[in-house]
Amino acid sequence: MDPRRGYWESSSEDVTGPLLPLHDDDDDAADRRRSCSALRSMLASKYLAVASGPVACALICALVDLGGHRAARNMLGVLAWVFLWWITDAVPLAVASMAPLFLFPVFGISSSDAVAKAYMDDVISLVLGSFILALAIEHYNIHRRLALNITSLFCGDPVKPPLLLLGICGTTMFISMWIHNTPCTVMMMPVATGILQRFPRGEASSTSSAADAREVQQFSKAVVLGVVYASAIGGMATLTGTGVNIILVGMWSTYYPEQPPITFSSWMSFGLPIALVLFVALWATLCLLYCSKNTGRALSAYLDRSHLRRELGLLGPMAFAEKMVLAIFGGLIVLWMTRNLTDDIPGWGSLFHGEVGDGTVTIMMATLLFIIPSGKNDGEKLMDWAKCRRLQWNIIILLGAGFAIADGFKASGLTDILSGGLGFLRGAPALAIAPVACVFSGVITEFTSDDATATLVLPLLAELAKSIGVHPLLLMVPGAVGAQLSYLLPTGSPGNVVGFSTGYVTIKDMVIAGMPLKVVGVAALTILLPTLGSVVFGMDQKL
């Protein structure tokens, strides 16, 4: 034994000073390893992504000259900061969305009170109440009961794949009309994959079985894509279906507070027809791509109506709590639809002199969930705050950031500068620019979230409309619709990630099935906006 080694081992606890290095080369190698480790740690911790926001802001503030408009230049820098944090995921989405709360006052764009007010208004109340109702529906398994009832109705005996697809997609679209796209996809995907788990995922050995297995795998792709896309399509139909529509409503009221607001009923009058056109296109696309004449025979070996009925039987009869949640939800839909009707029939909102908004009744009905007993245990209510821990605060704060940015555009004077810079488009035909705006927004949304796309694009389109002298909604509505056509990549929306993570579909599958939907969406908007939209939104009237 080496005596020195024995000494160090026996008396290591007594040594107070560091051991001297034996070789300089070892020390250099250790330094290099530490440097590489530090670099890897920086990359893994996203320090470079975090630094990209402040660096971009500093470069814009130092190098960009907007004719002496200091506040507008600062607003552009802050916008670059927030946008880079959004697209790089440098910090959590909610944290990046809170950045305007300190950036706007520091850069002299608006006061702290002014920017804070943008994070809570009637639109935010609408989203908050909707999320609470969605949690109640999920807690009592109402979504699963509804899905199994409709799916068993459409299953057919023997199995009819197109009819089954229609039932699954139709159920998903209907649920997505009333709750946010992402919760809807998260709710419906386990229902869909629960059916698909009965199917084999590998190739069989014999020729006939291998052919059947391929048919089953193709149909599995159709089911997953159907849930993902039907959730996105259903969200277009109502204000509560997706954050993009809420952002559009908030920015419209911010930029044009003197104009009639976009209400729940007015948007549904326009959004539902577009959603129905897209739904038919989705169903036809999935049937053509993934269903053949042999698919039904292949599925019959693994799935029948009795399986769905057994699943439904396990849920038991509908309890009092479920009935009350459905009653509250149904009552809220009625209140949404009847607040403003027509000029001759003003709706119940006129009783309160227009002081009550959609968010008002949403919070009111959500409050009833914390008052009405559940009928299970003494003192237990339908909902308690512990069940609300999974509220999507990141989406709520993101919406607030969108409204704050819209206010910042106006307060800083950046909107006037953009309006002057876009003056060369004044002679362009409006009907040609509307689909271009939709395509422009639809391309951006494939690489960032729908809500972030709408937040960034809609203020620019509002100023573009002023510049070319057309009704702002003629461009803002295409921008909002285009932001929701995120069908090609998993990065397009959280719902796409949910579907992609199941392992049933690839990016190639999403591109092949999503591209026809994107084309149909742009075409439907081009036709319906100047016709139906002109009547619903009053775009034939000058501002």
Residue range 464-481, pLDDT digits in tens: 787 777 888 888 999 999
Residue-level pLDDT at 493:
75
Residue-level pLDDT at 367:
96
Residue-level pLDDT at 16:
42
Give the DSSP H/E element, type plus range, for residue 514: helix 507-528
> 């160090």: which residue's tokens?
8
60's tokens: 């814009």
424's tokens: 């060369």
- CA distances, 366 to each of 335, 337, 362, 400, 529 (Å): 13, 17, 6, 20, 34
Single-letter amino acid, residue 389: R
Residue-level pLDDT at 330:
86
Mean pLDDT of 405-433: 71
Of 123, 25, 120, nearest to 454 by C-alpha is 123
In angstroms, the CA 148 to CA 313 distance is: 10
Residue-level pLDDT at 78:
93
Count of other CB atoms within 10 angstroms of residue 153:
13
Q: Which of 132-136, 235-239, 278-282, 356-360 has the highest mean pLDDT?
A: 278-282
The phi-psi region of residue 230 (left if phi > 0; otherwise alpha if psi is between -120 and 50; otherwise beta) is alpha
Would you say residue 18 has pLDDT above 60?
no
Mean pLDDT of 241-250: 86
Residue range 263-319, pLDDT digits in tens: 888 899 999 999 999 999 999 999 999 988 887 777 777 766 777 778 788 888 889
Residue range 183-215, pLDDT digits in tens: 778 777 777 776 777 677 655 444 447 777 788
Q: What is the mean pLDDT of the chain?
A: 80
C-alpha 100: how far from its chain's center? 21
Note whether 535 and 281 are within 8 A (CB). no
Single-letter amino acid, residue 436: V
220's tokens: 């599995």
For 159, residues 6+ apart whose C-beta sits below 8 A from its C-beta are 296, 299, 300, 303, 304
Give the DSSP H/E element, type plus range, for residue 203: none
Asked which of 308-312, 362-366, 488-492 is least confident by mean pLDDT, the reply is 488-492
Count of other CB atoms within 10 angstroms of residue 278:
28
Single-letter amino acid, residue 206: S
Number of residues in the chain: 543
In angstroms, the CA 106 to CA 61 distance is: 13
Of 251, 262, 172, nearest to 483 by C-alpha is 251
Q: Which residue has the higher pLDDT, 45 or 70?
A: 70
Half-sphere exposure (Cβ direction) of 501: Cα atoms closer than 13 Å:
11
Of 119, 180, 263, nearest to 495 by C-alpha is 180
Model confidence band, residue 325 (pLDDT cutoffs 50, 70, 90) = very high
- Count of helix runs (H) and strand runs (E) in the chain: 26, 0
In angstroms, the CA 85 to CA 336 distance is: 35
Q: Which residue has the higher pLDDT, 311 or 447?
A: 311
Respond yes or no on whether the N-terminal peptide bond of residue 472 is cis (omega within 30° of 0): no
Mean pLDDT of 128-151: 80
Residue-level pLDDT at 13:
41
Model confidence band, residue 448 (pLDDT cutoffs 50, 70, 90) = low
Of 242, 233, 254, nearest to 472 by C-alpha is 254
Residue 381: strand pairing partners: 373
Residue-level pLDDT at 390:
82
Share of residues in the chain with pLDDT > 90 (%): 23
Residue-level pLDDT at 344:
63
Would you say residue 32 has pLDDT above 80?
no
In angstroms, the CA 505 to CA 182 distance is: 18
What are the φ and ψ backbone dihedral angles of 381, each rounded to 5 degrees? -100, 170
Single-letter amino acid, residue 421: G
Note whether 490 and 496 are within 8 A (CB). yes
Residue range 153-163, pLDDT digits in tens: 877 677 788 88
Q: Which residue has the higher pLDDT, 350 or 483?
A: 483
Residue 373: strand pairing partners: 381
- pTM of this prediction? 0.67
Of 510, 464, 18, nearest to 229 by C-alpha is 510
Q: Which residue has the higher pLDDT, 488 or 240?
A: 488
In angstroms, the CA 350 to CA 233 distance is: 32
Q: At what angle do helices 473-483 and 243-255 cross, to 10 degrees?
A: 160
Would you say residue 491 has pLDDT above 70?
no
492's tokens: 């397009």
- CA distances, 279 to each of 34, 197, 231, 353 (Å): 56, 25, 10, 38
110's tokens: 């608006």
326's tokens: 């459905």
Residue-level pLDDT at 226:
93
- Which stretches within 445-506 are classed as H helix? 450-468, 473-483, 494-500
Note whether 296 and 162 are within 8 A (CB). no
In angstroms, the CA 529 to CA 535 distance is: 9
Model confidence band, residue 44 (pLDDT cutoffs 50, 70, 90) = low
Angle in degrees, CA 43, 49, 52, rounded to 5? 135
In angstroms, the CA 456 to CA 276 distance is: 27
- CA distances, 158 to each of 43, 164, 284, 287 (Å): 55, 11, 21, 17
Give the DSSP H/E element, type plus range, for residue 351: none
Would you say residue 20 has pLDDT above 50?
no
Respond yes or no on whether the N-terminal peptide bond of residue 158 is cis (omega within 30° of 0): yes
Would you say residue 167 has pLDDT above 80?
yes
In angstroms, the CA 465 to CA 454 distance is: 16
